[in-house]
């Protein structure tokens, strides 16, 4: 019988130690080092030993390497393709993380049911009947999706060899375990070993693998940090379970940009792709109301038009309230101080409430001008015309500062039918054929003249 070996791992960063110690030397965290059982066999491969063939790679001159663009697998999901950079790359390993109940399994099952390729969906958390019930709710349209409920990697690879799928989806990596490691599922050594086996399988067979990963209470993907370094793409599925919108971001992408953004709407029949989120984030009104302003913002590389709502009222109690939803409260206090100092508005004795509609959070400084416009509109009880929008940053001295990619914001506003956009005078704009009226302002007093 092989001797059982124990070793110590840091649960935060995955660093291995020969003995226990209080603090990890790599990440400097305390009390994160735990003992795990490890047993390394002579053979550790995704294939059975009988049909394993060793492949030796040879060095090539850089000008001999084929640099032609590799064909991608179309997922038939425009938002998922956008975030990945055009589709799934064959032989790649993609990791999808997100909070419990946010819709990770629903998203990948929905994509599996759309794919025209033979897909193997491996679930270690739900039974086949549970997945079937969810698939009936999503309305499957093909028979290329195969469901397997298994957590042992050796059994999974036997089914893969028999089925030969075009794409493999694992739900989730924390539930898998390998016979080559003695520790329990979800431990650092098990996650590293299972991921290594899946990477070897993906690279040798040119089959893409998509993993679902759990996250910790801090919002990080559970397991060692090396897991995110091992995979090719790391996706984050975000959203508030109290709202219907879900945002898909790429935190790491070896085959494309990390600035793209995918937006979904959660419905009873699954996740619906939102191709034009601006129309949903802007509320429909029968009449013009004060305290509303439209901002042209960017989420990654994607321009969005969002609605900023403000309510300014006389403070009932001695200390006025400052409340912001979806916006930085400290930045709101800064903008109120600028309005009082530079524009002469007495807001120190008034309650100010600010809200970004749609339940999203925005940290783009380019919405400063829209926030100021909404506050002034509510304070003076004068409605801003519905076809006005704003895109500029406000400085501490009241100057209107330029922003990046202003032309992209202007074109998005023009596409959605806005007639006037307020931007900084110091932005260099080279657009020639535009139907939208571009108002250039240099200080906050210029804005006051237009809307009051």
- Contact 184/137 with Cβ under 8 angstroms? no
Structure tokens at 169: 């989806």
Cα 295 to Cα 382: distance, rounded to the nearest angstrom: 18
Structure tokens at 407: 């032309």
Classify 91 as helix, strand or coil.
coil
- Contact 278/245 with Cβ under 8 angstroms? no
Partner residues linked to 212 by β-bridges: 96, 171
> How far is CA 268 from each of CA 106, 115, 146, 244, 289, rounded to the nearest angstrom?
11, 21, 23, 10, 33
E strand segments, 42-132: 93-98, 119-123
- Contact 431/408 with Cβ under 8 angstroms? no
Pairing mode, strands 245-253 and 233-239: antiparallel
Torsion angle defined by CA atoms of residues 210, 223, 100 and 104, in that order, rounded to the nearest 10 degrees:
-10
- Is residue 100 a known part of a binding site? yes
- Is residue 318 a known part of a binding site? no
Structure tokens at 258: 């990390």
- Is residue 282 a known part of a binding site? no
Cα 308 to its chain centre, rounded Å, is 22
Closest CA to 176 of 215, 211, 128, 131: 211
> How far is CA 311 from each of CA 322, 387, 398, rounded to the nearest angstrom?
10, 20, 21
Q: Left if phi > 0, otherwise alpha if psi is -120 to 50, otherwise beta: which for 305?
A: beta
Phi/psi of residue 174, nearest 5 degrees: -75, -15
- Is residue 104 a known part of a binding site? yes
- Is residue 99 a known part of a binding site? yes
- Is residue 36 a known part of a binding site? no
- Is residue 239 a known part of a binding site? no
Structure tokens at 164: 């030969």
- Is residue 395 a known part of a binding site? no
- Please state the three-class secondary structure of 200-263 as a single string: HHHHHHCCCEEEEECECCCCCECCCCHHHHHCCEEEEEEECCCCCEEEEEEEEECCCCCCCEEE
Binding residues for ATP: 98-105
Binding residues: 98-105
């Amino acid at each position: 019988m092989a001797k059982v070996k124990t070793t110590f791992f840091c649960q935060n960063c995955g660093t291995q130690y020969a003995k226990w110690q209080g603090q990890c030397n790599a990440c400097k965290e305390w009390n994160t080092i735990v003992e795990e059982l490890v047993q390394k066999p002579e053979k550790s491969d995704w294939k059975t030993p009988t049909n394993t063939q060793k492949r030796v790679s040879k060095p090539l001159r850089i000008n001999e390497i084929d640099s032609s663009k590799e064909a991608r697998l179309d997922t038939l999901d425009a938002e998922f393709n956008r975030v990945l950079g055009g589709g799934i790359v064959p032989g790649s390993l993609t990791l999808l993380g997100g909070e419990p109940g946010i819709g990770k399994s629903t998203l990948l099952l929905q994509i599996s049911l759309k794919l025209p390729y033979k897909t193997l969906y491996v679930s270690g958390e739900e039974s086949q009947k549970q997945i079937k019930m969810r698939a009936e709710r999503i309305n499957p349209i093909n028979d290329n999706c195969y469901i397997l409920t298994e957590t042992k990697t050796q059994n999974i690879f036997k089914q893969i060899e028999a089925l030969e799928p075009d794409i493999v989806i694992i739900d989730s990596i924390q539930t898998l375990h390998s016979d080559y490691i003695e520790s329990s599922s979800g431990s650092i050594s098990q996650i590293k070993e299972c991921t290594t086996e899946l990477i070897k399988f993906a690279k040798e067979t040119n089959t893409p693998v998509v993993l679902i990963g759990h996250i910790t209470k801090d919002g990080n993907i559970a397991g060692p940090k090396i897991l995110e370094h091992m995979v090719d793409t790391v996706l984050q599925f975000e959203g508030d379970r109290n709202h219907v919108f879900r945002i898909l971001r790429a935190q790491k992408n070896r085959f494309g940009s990390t600035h793209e953004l995918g937006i979904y709407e959660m419905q009873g029949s699954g996740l619906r792709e939102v191709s034009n989120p601006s129309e949903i984030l802007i509320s429909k009104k029968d009449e013009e109301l004060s305290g509303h302003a439209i901002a042209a913002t960017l989420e990654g590389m994607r321009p969005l038009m969002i609605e900023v709502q403000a309510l300014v009222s006389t403070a009932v109690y001695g200390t006025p309230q400052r409340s912001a939803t979806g916006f930085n409260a400290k930045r709101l206090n800064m903008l109120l101080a600028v309005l009082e100092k530079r524009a002469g508005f007495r807001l120190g004795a008034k309650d100010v409430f600010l809200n970004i509609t749609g339940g999203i959070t925005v940290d783009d400084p380019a919405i400063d001008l829209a926030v100021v416009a909404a506050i002034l509109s509510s304070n003076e009880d004068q409605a801003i015309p519905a076809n006005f929008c704003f895109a500029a940053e406000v400085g501490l001295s009241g100057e209107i500062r330029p922003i990046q990619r202003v032309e992209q914001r202007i074109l998005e506003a023009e596409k959605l039918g806005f007639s006037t956009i307020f931007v900084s005078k110091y932005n260099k704009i080279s657009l020639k054929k535009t139907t939208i009226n571009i108002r250039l302002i240099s200080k906050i007093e210029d804005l006051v003249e237009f809307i009051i």
